[in-house]
Amino acid sequence: MNFPLQPWWRGGVIYQIYPRSFQDSNGDGIGDLAGITRRLPYLAGLGVDAVWLSPFFRSPMKDFGYDISDYCDVDPIFGSLADFDALVAEAHRLGLRVLIDQVLSHSSDQHPWFAESRSDRHNPKADWYVWADPQPDGTPPNNWLSIFGGSAWQWDTRRCQYYLHNFLTSQPDLNFHLPAVQDAALDTLRFWLDRGVDGFRLDVVNFFFHDAQLRSNPGRGGATDDPALNPVNPYGWQYHRYDKSQPENLGFLQRLRRLLDEYPGTTSVGEIGDDQTLERIAEYTGGGDKLHMAYGFDLLGAPHDAPYLHGVIERFGRVVRDGWACWSLSNHDVTRVATRWSQGAEHDAAWLRLAFALQLSLRGSPCIYQGDELGLPEARLAYEDLQDPYGITMWPEYVGRDGCRTPMVWEADAPGAGFSSAPATWLPVSPQHLPLAVSAQQHADSLLAFYRAMLSWRRTQDCLQQGELHLLPVHPQVLAFVRSLPGRDLLCAFNLGAAALDYALPQGLQARALAHGCPLSGAVLRGAVLELPAFGAAYVELGADSPTAL
């Protein structure tokens, strides 16, 4: 297919697929690439612009693909390189771009690079990973912690040294201070670019470099409220000044961008978890010479009121400036938004529509996690069904990430909900999800129908895709802003409260009419007053004389 030349990713909508749980094509209970290919027409019909595939590379699956043992091959449980090529070809035929996850900060301990590196201290790859001698008392080199619990250092008896792992002990960190490691990482990206991928989602992109002096992190004296971390994890008790987000990362990201620039139309989106996430997004996406987009965890935590969201958007605009965000409400690492942001059963139908409309209206590129278009809640799993090593370690106070990774529900009455014909799937299909299956939402007032209609309408609204964003004054219940392009201003107003209210437009704004064709309904415009229903939203065309600096 011939794609348009403008940067599609600026405002394009991405749909994240967790391959293990999307569609099983061979009856083994695990989703695969051929299954994804089968379901691509569904995604094209939904109205998204691109799919992001979580890892499908060769892996021992200790962290379900985020521990890679071969960056340039498909794990047999997902299929083959031929299956991947067929997926890309079909996606492009349908007008969908394909982004793939790349986990460059660390590999599996079963990767040949690590096998060679750990064999002794003098082999050609001896410095490809982060090795360090113990302190005089035999303890680890510093106080760095693993996100998955305990020290970030693991003793290795072959070299009688510690190696760094920010996640599982089976996920050793690569040493990006070494140019050869950077070259090898970029070579893996080129491999997939040559196969036709349209870009990459870069896992923990701010973890690539560590402090070369291995200085200990300062403590914060207690747990953090960072939504990326759970409160029982001691990782949040440190300011992560030295184990990630090092200035050397900028040079590597510039190298990565130069590679992508050789392949017109490709893009990159980085995952950033940091004590100063917005500052990192500004660094990593500003200037047009590093990442195209990045996302943090500002909208991936607890329910948010209008003043909080106003603060997030205000800080983003002030700090990030010329950078670009990818806004997610859910992903494979956090509790699903239908549960995390629940307002109670009597309000959730309206609330989920409001949340999606807000996501589509922010300046940036929305990313939908599979099943959010169905309103799937977090699945409840028994301990014996857990697969996530993080959850197993932190149980019972934290149950892990399996509840957002259960299989997609396609057909309410089919065995395995249409996901698989296997008698048992890698995670159980949630009985809670069956009434919300795709087959059960083929009616005009379903959430799935709303997603389709809202995505279709947004395609007609250049302001929402490309426009600047001007916040209106903070309000205790309403989040409001104007999206602007030359010659057009669109007011977006969201009532985040459970009570209807009249919202008076700020002085000087001249409301012409509610935007034509918007799937949201219920709002009424009376002169300069918007009547907003509970958990309702409105889009209002503004007059040409409205102020442009708000």
267-285 per-residue burial string, b: 16 or more CB within 10 A, e: under 16: bbbbbbbbbebbebbbbbb
Q: Where are the alpha helices (H) located in 94-216, listed in sequence order?
A: 112-117, 179-193
Domain presence at residue 96: yes
Q: Which two tokens stand for residue 458?
A: 């947004």
What is the rounded CA–CA span in Å between residue 484 and residue 524?
22
Residue 63 known to be catalytic? no
Q: Is residue 387 part of a domain?
A: yes
Task: With a cut of 90, say whether residue 246 has pLDDT above it.
Answer: yes
> Do 508 and 429 lie in a common domain?
no
% of the chain at pLDDT higher than 90: 92
| pLDDT at res. 5 | 42
Burial track 93-128 (b if 16+ CB lie within 10 A, e otherwise): eeebbbbbbbbbbbbbbbbebbeebbeeeeeebbeb
- Helical axes 249-261 vs 277-285, angle rounded to 10°: 40
Q: What is the tens place of the pLDDT at every residue in 400-414?
A: 999 999 999 999 999
The CATH number assigned to the domain holding 237 equals 3.20.20.80
- CATH number, domain at 470? 2.60.40.1180
Region 102-110 average pLDDT: 98
Percent of the chain scoring above 70 in pLDDT: 96
The phi, psi pair for 174, rounded to 5°, reads -75, 155
Assigned token pair, 41: 């027409």
Q: State which amino acid sits at residue 320.
A: V
- Same domain? For 311 and 409 the reply is yes
Which structural domain, as residue segments, surrounds residue 510?
Answer: 465-542
pLDDT tops 90 at residue 229 = no
Q: Which of 137, 194, 225, 262 is catalytic?
A: 262
Residues 394 and 522 in one domain: no
Among the candidates 431, 458, 485, a domain finishes at 458
pTM equals: 0.96
Same domain (yes/no): 48, 186: yes
In angstroms, the CA 545 to CA 550 distance is: 13
Model confidence at 2: pLDDT above 50: no
Is residue 408 domain-resident?
yes
CA distance linking residue 547 with residue 528, whole number of Å: 15
Number of domains in the chain: 2
Q: Catalytic: 397?
A: no
Give 462's contacts (C-beta < 8 A, 6+ positions apart).
Answer: 485, 488
Do 320 and 351 lie in one domain? The reply is: yes
Q: Which of 424, 458, 492 is the last residue of a domain?
A: 458
Span 249-263, average pLDDT:
98
Q: What is the pLDDT of residues 482-523, one digit of tens each?
A: 999 999 999 999 999 999 999 999 998 999 999 999 999 899
Which of 203, 243, 274, 283 is catalytic? The answer is: 203
Residue 166 lies in a domain: no
